[in-house]
Amino acid sequence: MIGAGPAGLSAALYLKRLNMRCIVIERYLPGGRLNEVPIVENLLGFGRVKGMDLAKKFLEHVMMEGIEIVFPDEVVDIKRSDRKWIITTREGRIYSAYAVIFATGMERVKFTIENEEKFMGKGVSYCAVCDGPLYRGKKVAVVGPDDKAVKEALYLSKMASEVSLVFEGEEAPSESLPDNVEVIMGRAVRIEGDDRVRRLVVKLPDGSTRLIEADAVFVARGEVPNTAILRRIGVELDERGFVKVDREQRTNVEGVFAAGDVTGRGLQIAIAMGDGAMAALSAYRYVAKVKMRRGR
């Protein structure tokens, strides 16, 4: 299992109940993007719950079942050997499996601003909910082209003294914003500072530049499916870059399944969990057939 969001953890739980050994590899935190969601209100049986609390409940459930979760680690290579997949991680761990379920979700478009990578963890953030409280009473900037950036700015306005919303869309946001949020139409081109973020350089529509004082820069640009490693093994993607799967979550590559946001279907927790369950059932049937053919 690659990815420990709702889809990956749901698949792992089903496989465990089917008495199959499975290992979940997660490059960040179990729960995936749930850790960045302030409130979940539409998941049956939970009512109103914080995303981080929901992620914790999911993790506790699968750990109670004895499922092994490896994190933080990342799959860097996967190749076919006989009828098994050999998976290598960044930490040097090597696993072999008859079937692999990719529940890798989506990732933010990163490193589009000069020095963005340099200041990661030093004032550059991709999650206002996660890191906003660190900048209470300080000046922050939010960069993005759409409604996501507006929402991040609104959230930060409740704790930061000043919020500069560098809006990269074609038209200014129509939503009413608090007095401590300034909308600047333009494009963020460079982050400056010393041991941490101090300023953001913005290119304005007329070609001039503006320097914005900021203690943090929250990048709220778009997200893309996390499919780089899938491309390498020939998994078919659609025109948007999402993994193509059939009704049983099978890809075009034998023994490879996909579930959750990486397939682009629904982009909702409940749908991801259902996809994970279906992927687990399909993987179980596939492995049973492979073992039968091998006489094991």
- If residue 148 lies in a helix (H) or strand (E), which one and from where to where? helix 147-157
Alpha-carbon distances of 147 from 34, 39, 142, 173, rounded to whole Å: 19, 18, 12, 8
Among 206, 150, 211, which Cα is nearest to 181's? 150
214 Cβ contact list (under 8 Å, min separation 6): 123, 139, 140, 141, 164, 197, 198, 199, 200
Q: Which of 127, 146, 147, 238 is catalytic?
A: 127
Q: How far is 265 from 268, CA to CA, in rounded Å?
A: 8
Q: How far apart are CA 151 and CA 99, in angstroms?
A: 39
Q: Catalytic site residue 22? A: no
Rounded Cα gap, residues 69 and 45, in angstroms: 25
Name residues whose C-beta falls within 8 Å of residue 25's C-beta, 6 or more positions apart in sequence. Answer: 1, 2, 3, 4, 70, 71, 73, 74, 75, 87, 89, 95
Distance from CA of residue 181 to its chain's centroid? Answer: 27
Peptide bond between residue 178 and the one before it cis (omega within 30 degrees of 0): no
CA separation for the pair 30, 72 (Å, rounded): 9
- Among residues 53, 73, 82, 130, the one annotated as catalytic is 130
Contact 204, 220 (CB under 8 A): no
Per-residue tokens: 12: 């792992």
Residue among 131, 195, 206, 246 flagged as catalytic: 131
Would you please indicate which residues are annotated as catalytic (active-site) residues? 127, 130-131
